[in-house]
Amino acid sequence: MTPIYDDDGTLTRYLGTQQDVTERTESRQELQAEREFIQQALDSLDDLFYVLDSDGTIKRWNQTVADVTGYTSAELDGMSVTQLIPNVDEESISEAIESTLQGNKTTADAELQTADGETVPIEWSGAQLTDTDGEIIGLVGIGRDISQRREREQRFQALVEKSNDSISVVDADGRFQYQSPSIEHILGYDHDEVVGNSVWEYIHPDDHDAVQHWFESLQNDGASTEPVEYRAQHADGSWQWMEASGYDQINNSAVSGYVINSHRITARKQREQHLSILDRVLRHNFRNGMNVIRGRAEAIRSIPPEEAAEHANEIVAKSDELLALAEKQRQLTSLIRDDSTTRKIDLRELLQYSVSTVTAEHPDATVTVDCPAEASIYTTADLEKAIIELITNAIIHADADAAAVTVSVVHFAGLVHIDITDNCPPLPEVEKGILTDSLQETPLYHGSGLGLWLVRLIITQLGGTIYVDQHDAGGNTIRIELPG
């Protein structure tokens, strides 16, 4: 509005112009509505939305940022983002900001520290922000609370670490891409060191073909219809039986491989082997005994009654022997099928009880115990059965008029040595083989009773080893070596 004056300087009128600003007003209103809509949309996000300038100062944020951090809008305005980050993560976030400003899209996990000092695990992601001229003015990003994800990861980690199953991811060539920490207590390897190695390095050569065929079926069918059994080498050099199943996740970007779930079945395979041996030995010995009984019975039918007594005595003796054999078989079967409880046992007390049990049946025998006081061992009650069997065997087969047996105990290099020394003739090679050789199905052992088999199975299941030393001056020492 412009005032107009006459020649005398008197205001006579005003000169003005009018302009239609309806469109501009509507544009402003639309722009404001759009801003409010965008802000409302950002505030509705569960994630943290933020805009930083090039020096990391917070320029814009959504309501979630205020809600999670506990800071007011006035406090957030102009705050450096590093003020929200604990010192331990500050360097990694600063590096991520610098990388983003250079044009890289970045993601980083770091804690967010709230106004009251609590921390929240956040996955931060950001991208470069430019103006209309392409000049870098900062970055825009999203922060996502990963508390639940981290809890799931921790639960999964705890499960795979303590699991009795080994979880592996292998590529198409059979190389480990991932190995769960449980491999450490299953096969004794560091799980990180296994990654990159070929699975074939750990599989018994005799099982390569079976596992290769199974792996090819997995690749072709997408999942294993039947598990595969194979022997894997333990870090200590021993071979452990494993059973594996798997499924194809090669096209899953989160896995990119074949997932193999394996668990140890060594104990089961040992039971199967032991039961097979027991069945074979028992049938052989029982058949031999029944043949003797049948032969004696047929002899009785064909001779005078006064001559039958000797045959009758043989029948009674052989019948008693078979009954004892059946009882041993019952003990063996129970031992193989049941899992005995391992506990701390007073070794001296166990040995003294074992000796008293045997000498009650054989009062003429002399059995001495040389064991340190308060000696103890983590084992099962089955050890007592093995000790009783070995002492009894030594007394029965003693060469002298009176059996003399010494049971001594020595702790050595983390092991417990239990020595049973007798005055018997040299232990026959067949019986020595039962105690010291690997358990095998072989006709060599069929002539022996089940007592030494019982000892062998007990010590094997306890993780021990048996040695036999035959003395030049006579007698034997049977050493049981157990973990101390």
Domain residue limits, the chain = 22-144, 151-264, 268-336, 340-484
On average, the pLDDT of the chain sits at: 81
Coil, helix or strand for 48? Answer: strand
Give me the pLDDT at residue 256, please. 87
Q: Using CA atoms, how far apart are residues 7 and 4, in angstroms rounded to an integer? A: 10
**Centroid of chain to Cα 222:** 25
| Cβ–Cβ < 8 Å for 300, 308 | yes
Give me the pLDDT at residue 174, please. 92
**pLDDT tens digits for range 147-205:** 888 777 667 666 666 667 888 999 999 999 999 888 888 899 998 899 999 999 999 99
CATH class of the domain whose range is 151-264: alpha beta
Give me the pLDDT at residue 151, please. 78
**pLDDT tens digits for range 242-274:** 999 998 988 888 788 999 999 888 877 777 776
**pLDDT tens digits for range 422-446:** 988 888 887 888 788 754 544 444 4
Q: Which H or E run includes 51?
A: strand 48-53
- How confident is the model over 218-231, as a mean pLDDT? 86
∠263-268-272 over CA atoms, to 5°? Answer: 145
Q: Which H or E run includes 228?
A: strand 228-233
What pLDDT band is residue 331 in, cutting at 50, 70 and 90?
low
Q: Using CA atoms, how far apart are residues 227 and 204, in angstroms rounded to an integer? A: 17
Which token pair is 106? Answer: 């970045």
Nearest of 351, 449, 333 to residue 393 by alpha carbon: 449
What pLDDT band is residue 332 in, cutting at 50, 70 and 90?
low
How far is CA 363 from each of CA 146, 353, 400, rounded to the nearest angstrom?
75, 15, 15
CATH class of the domain whose range is 22-144: alpha beta
Q: Using CA atoms, how far apart are residues 416 and 378, in angstroms rounded to an integer? A: 10
**CATH 3.30.565.10 is right for the domain spanning 340-484:** yes
Q: Which residue has the higher pLDDT, 131 or 339?
A: 131
What pLDDT band is residue 15 in, cutting at 50, 70 and 90?
low
Q: Using CA atoms, how far apart are residues 148 and 153, in angstroms rounded to an integer? A: 9
Kindly state the percentage of the chain with pLDDT values over 70.
80
**pLDDT tens digits for range 274-313:** 666 666 666 667 777 777 777 777 777 667 776 676 777 7
Give me the pLDDT at residue 445, please. 45
| Cβ–Cβ < 8 Å for 139, 51 | yes
- How confident is the model over 5-15, as a mean pLDDT? 71
Q: Which residue has the higher pLDDT, 20 or 319?
A: 319
- How confident is the model over 394-400, as a mean pLDDT? 82
Domain 22-144 and domain 340-484, same fold? Reply is: no
- Half-sphere exposure for 46 (CA within 13 Å, toward CB): 4
| Cβ–Cβ < 8 Å for 359, 402 | no
Q: Using CA atoms, how far apart are residues 96 and 87, in angstroms rounded to an integer? A: 15
What pLDDT band is residue 34 in, cutting at 50, 70 and 90?
low
Give me the pLDDT at residue 153, please. 67
Give me the pLDDT at residue 205, please. 93
